[in-house]
Amino acid sequence: MKVLIINKSLTNGGAAIAATRLFNALKESGTKVKMLVEDTVEETDDVKCLTNSKKAKKKAFGRFVMERLRFLPHEKNKTVRYRFSPATSGIDISKHPLVLDADIIHMHWVNQGFLSLQTIEKLFKLNKKIVWTLHDMWPFTGGCHYAGPCDNYMGSCGNCPFLRRPGKKDLSNKIIREKKKIWDNTKINAVACSKWMERTAQKSTLLQKHNVISIPNPIDSRVFTPLNTKQCREEFGLPLDKKLLLFGAVNINDPRKGAKQLAQALDFLNIRHPNLTKELELVVFGKCKTQEMNMLPYKWHKIDFISGQNKMAKLYNCADAFVLPSLEDNLPNTVMESLACGVPVVAFSIGGVPEMIQHKETGYVVSANNCNDLGIGIHHVLYENNPDLFKFSATKFVKDKYSNKEVARQYNELYSSLVSK
In SS3 terms, the chain reads as CEEEEEECCCCCCHHHHHHHHHHHHHHHHCCEEEEEECCCCCCCCCEEECCCCHHHHHHHHHHHHHHHHHHCCCECCHHHCCCECCCCCCCCCCCCHHHHHCCEEEECCCCCCCCCHHHHHHHHCCCCEEEEEECCCHHHCCCECCCCCCCHHHCCCCCCCCECCCCCCCHHHHHHHHHHHHHCCCCEEEEECCHHHHHHHHCCCCCCCCEEEECCCCECCCCCCCCCHHHHHHHHCCCCCCEEEEEEEEECCCHHHCHHHHHHHHHHHHHHCHHHHHCEEEEEEEECCHHHHCCCCCCEEEECCCCCHHHHHHHHCCCCEEEECCCCCCCCHHHHHHHHCCCCEEEECCCCHHHHCCECCCEEEECCCCHHHHHHHHHHHHHCCCHHHHHHHHHHHHHHHHEHHHHHHHHHHHHHHHHCC
Task: Answer yes or no: do 16 and 143 share one domain.
Answer: yes
User: 408 and 398 share a domain?
Assistant: no
pLDDT band of 261, cuts 50, 70, 90? very high
Mean pLDDT of 83-91: 96
Strand partners, 406: none
Q: Indicate the average pLDDT of the chain.
A: 93
Our measurement of the distance from residue 325's CA atom to the centroid of its chain's CA atoms, rounded to an integer in Å, reads: 14
299, 161: one domain: no
pLDDT for 250 equals: 75
pLDDT band at 328; cut points 50, 70, 90: confident
Least confidently predicted of 158-167, 277-286, 409-418: 277-286
Task: Please compute the mean of the pLDDT values over residues 259-284 and round it to a whole number.
Answer: 93
Confidence check: pLDDT of 294 > 80: no
Residue 27 shares a structural domain with residue 99 = yes
Q: Are 339 and 356 in contact (CB under 8 A)?
A: yes
Structural domain includes residue 223: no
**pLDDT for the residue 253:** 76
On the question of pLDDT at 141 being above 90, the answer is yes
Given a cut of 90, whether residue 214 has pLDDT beyond it is yes
CA dist., res. 376 & res. 395, Å (int):
24
Residue 304 scores a pLDDT above 90: no
In the prediction, which pLDDT does 257 show?
A: 87
Assigned domain for 102 exists: yes
What does the alpha-carbon distance between residue 220 and residue 406 come to, in Å, rounded to a whole number? 11
HSE of 6, CA atoms in CB hemisphere, 13 A: 23
Q: Are residues 242 and 133 in the same domain?
A: no
Q: What is the pLDDT of residues 374-394, one digit of tens each?
A: 999 999 999 988 888 889 999
Cα–Cα dist 10/25, whole Å: 15
Q: Is the pLDDT of residue 291 over 90?
A: no
| CA 211 to chain CA centroid, nearest Å | 22
Q: Which domain holds residue 379?
A: 229-402
Provide mean pLDDT across the span 32-43: 92
Note the pLDDT tens digit of each residue in 6-26. 999 998 888 999 999 999 999
Domain shared by 201 and 339, yes or no: no
Q: How many domains does the chain have?
A: 2
Other beta carbons within 10 angstroms of residue 145's beta carbon come to 20
* Same domain for 201 and 321: no
Q: Determine the pLDDT at residue 387.
A: 86
pLDDT greater than 90 at residue 92: yes
Same domain, 331 and 350: yes
Q: Is the dihedral of CA 367, 370, 376, 379 positive or negative?
A: positive
Residue 302 in domain: yes
Residues 29, 409: Cα–Cα separation, whole Å: 8
In this prediction, residues 343-362 reach a mean pLDDT of 93
pTM above 0.85, yes or no: yes
State mean pLDDT over 259-282: 93
pLDDT band at 52 (very low <50, low <70, confident <90, very high): confident
Q: Specify the pLDDT at position 75.
A: 94
Q: Is the pLDDT of residue 170 over 80?
A: yes
Angle (CA) 302-247-295 rounded to 5° is 60
Q: Is residue 252 part of a domain?
A: yes
- In this structure, the answer to whether residues 268 and 309 fall within a common structural domain is yes
Q: pLDDT band for 111, please (50, 70, 90 cuts).
A: very high
Q: What is the pLDDT of residue 385?
A: 82
Cα(9)–Cα(50) distance, rounded to whole angstroms?
10
CA distance 329 to 340: 19
CB 153 within 8 A of CB 176: yes
Instruction: State what percent of residues in the chain have pLDDT above 90.
Output: 82
Distance, CA of 136 to CA of 117 (rounded, Å): 17
Going by C-alpha positions, the residue among 73, 92, 91, 89 that lies closest to residue 81 is 73
- Domain-embedded: residue 131: yes
Q: Are strands 2-7 and 104-107 parallel, antiparallel or unpaired?
A: parallel
CATH for 307 = 3.40.50.2000
Both 12 and 57 in one domain: the answer is yes
Q: Quickly state the pLDDT bin for 296 (edges 50, 70, 90).
A: confident
**Domain match, 393 and 370 both:** yes
Residue 217, pLDDT above cutoff 80: yes
Section 319-335 average pLDDT: 91
Q: Say yes or no: 411 and 356 in one domain.
A: no
